[in-house]
Amino acid sequence: MAAQTLDPQAMIFSTTKLGLPPQKVLATCKLLFEEECTIPFIARYRKEVTGNLDEVQIRDIQDTYNEYVETEKRREFILDAIKKMEAMTPELERQIKAASTLNQLEDIYAPYKSKKKTKAMIAKDNGLEPLSEMILKGDKDIRKLVEEINEKFVKPMEGKVKDVQDAINGACDILMETFSHKLELKERIRQTFWESGMMKASLRKDGDKIEEASKFKDFFEFSEPLSKIKDPKASHRYMAMRRGMNLKILKVDAEIAPEIGYTLIEEEFFPKKDKLANYELLKKCAEKAFTNYIQPSLDLEVKNDLKKFADSAAISVFGINLKNLLLAPYLGSKAVLGIDPGIRTGCKVVIVDSTGKFLGDHVVYPFEPKNDKVGAAQILTKMIEMFKVEYIAIGNGTNGRETLEFVETHIQQVKDGTVKATMTSEAGASIYSASDIARAEFPDKDVTVRGAISIARRFQDPLAELVKLDPKSIGVGQYQHDVNQIQLKNNLEAVVESCVNFVGVDLNTASAPLLSYVSGIGPTVAQNVVKYRDTNGGFKSRNELLKVTRFSQKVFEQSAGFLRIYNGPHALDGTFIHPERYPMLEEWVKTKKKDLKDLLIDDVLQNELASDKA
């Protein structure tokens, strides 16, 4: 991310939308966009600058700022495109600059997008715009002006306009397009959709012949106000309808009573209908404009907006689920026996020691067809004794419950309570086992063995193991394949980053995938850290990080506080205290005739420091 000049209007937009104090938004934007700081770093180490904003608020500022910037980019594109078409007018430019949302901008741009000429455009080229104005004005009944229309609009076009009826039809095409593209009218109808519109679903013709049709039976005759289905709590219903629609099982429409649309067009363009000679013709134009143009356009727009609302709600839930998985309690330094359950091909058994190091594997066959329960129990019992196993982690996939029951009834240490057996989620284990990371870690092991290792390790240290997986493969919620995949990826990666930096990592044991999520580091620098560690036998101090290839001063600033060195020469290297604060703390303890180690364990000294800072 390159440093950028701050946009004052974008910060005003963020301030207004989020309701945060302007000075907090300004300070946060400077850190994000000018100083290129990461969100975890700002949230933990720049609280005094942001006024104690948390990660969620900082991310909201970043998102709303970028939202404004992207809207302005689109505005500039539209202005430039229409100018190149030589179609810009002062009024059109004013409308484009006044538009406050992307939907409004797209409404303005819609007539200029099509490379193909519309019926209205052709009618204008054929000189029928004055006729359309005559019809709308309504002071003359065009049914009585056949000869005049023929002389003015048919004969001069030399066959391009066939007859009087063709001329009237062309004029009506112009009127319908005029009604459809009136910005203020479209906005009023849009608001009416959200306030009183309905979302309706029904079974499509032959939809019941599709294999999965029965899953959507609740929506075969479904209707719900748009105002309700817009609620994040109802997002799953719209996701289900949309999936049924994509499978061609359901017909899904957002609509308002057509009469409401007709009335709004009349009020906008010809409110004094009693005085209009051409009212019936205008009414038909209004009905066609709504039915053929406005209704389909807003139906698509509303469904797209609902998709965005539902995506955001679902992705938020996925993020919470992922966070709960990643921050599941750390087992600690305990040896674990992991089992990937199987039936015909047997159960794959692995041992990882108290540091997570893989020690060995075996296959046992307690189920049909071999049904060797006695032999399987003997092997597992010996492995538990030999490697001093304290926990057994069993994957919760196929045959998982049966495997747990076998262990609980046949393994004496489990029956005695000296070893605890439990099931753990194996979501994503098969994806990890075939990944480049797994092949690099265990090049000579089968994918099933790698999967069992993943199960054992994720039970031992969920965060350290699950960061090796694409967050989407962990199985964090329903409809995760239906939502916007870029938004899902960005959100889940932000959750992983947040969790990793919340916990911090051991610089001398963390894997490259885990290090890559530390604030400011990324995959390449993470690999360089591991290479340096392997070559030099571990880090003695945080300052040594500056010797790593591509580990710049900026990377050090953003990451050092989250990287721990336990039992190193400098007491503070094993804490969340950032190195930039070391000189101040070293000076302070010196004035108290104490040592830094005393500060870490002495509550009284810590309280005294807090008082001095205050």
| CATH of residue 554 | 1.10.150.310
User: Could you report the per-residue pLDDT of 371-381, keeping only the tens digit for each?
Assistant: 999 999 999 99
pLDDT tens digit sequence for 50-109: 999 999 999 999 999 999 999 999 999 999 999 999 889 999 999 999 999 999 999 999
Q: Are residues 186 and 314 in the same domain?
A: yes
Are 373 and 307 contained in the same domain?
Answer: no
Q: Report the candidate in 380, 387, 371, 375 with the shortest Cα–Cα distance to residue 413.
A: 380
Residue type, 563: L
Whether residues 367 and 415 share a domain: the answer is yes
Q: What is the pLDDT of residues 392-423, one digit of tens each?
A: 999 998 899 999 999 999 999 999 999 999 99
Domain boundary among 70, 88, 113: 113
308 shares a domain with 187: yes
Q: How far apart are CA 330 and CA 458, in angstroms?
A: 9
160 lies in some domain: no
Please choose, from the candidates 325, 317, 371, the residue with its C-alpha nearest in 3D space to the C-alpha of residue 344: 371
Q: Letter for the amino acid at 531?
A: K
Is 341 found in the same domain as 299? no
Residues 6+ apart with CB under 8 A from 530: 511, 512, 515
Same domain, 418 and 386: yes
Q: Are residues 354 and 389 in the same domain?
A: yes
- Last residue in a domain, options 98, 113, 128: 113
Question: Which residue among 65, 89, 113 closes a domain?
Answer: 113
Residue 454 pLDDT exceeds 60:
yes
- At position 591, the amino acid (one-letter code) is T
CATH of the domain at 434: 3.30.420.140
| SS3 of residue 461 by DSSP | coil
Mark whether 300 and 427 lie in a shared domain.
Answer: no
Quickly list DSSP for 78-103. HHHHHHHTT---HHHHHHHHH--SHH
440 in a structural domain:
yes
The answer to whether the beta carbons of residues 465 and 393 sit under 8 Å apart is no
Q: Is residue 477 part of a domain?
A: no
pLDDT mean over 240-244 = 95
396 inside domain: yes
Residue 269: CATH number of its domain = 1.10.3500.10
pLDDT tens for 559-575 read: 999 999 988 899 999 99
Q: What angle do CA 49, 55, 58 make, to 5 degrees?
A: 60
Q: Is 82 helix (H, G, I), strand (E, B) or coil?
A: helix
Residue 488 pLDDT greater than 80, yes or no: yes
Q: Domain span at residue 521?
A: 504-613
* pLDDT above 80: residue 26: yes
CA distances from 453 to 386, 400, 441, 515 (A): 18, 16, 11, 20
Question: Looking at the domain assignment, is residue 482 inside a domain?
Answer: no
Tally of helices (H runs) and strands (E runs) in the chain: 31, 10
> Are 346 and 285 in a shared domain?
no
pLDDT category of residue 272 using cuts at 50, 70 and 90: confident
Is 602 contained in some domain?
Answer: yes
- Domain harbouring 78, CATH code: 1.10.10.650
Count of structural domains within the chain: 4
Q: Does residue 152 lie in a domain region?
A: no
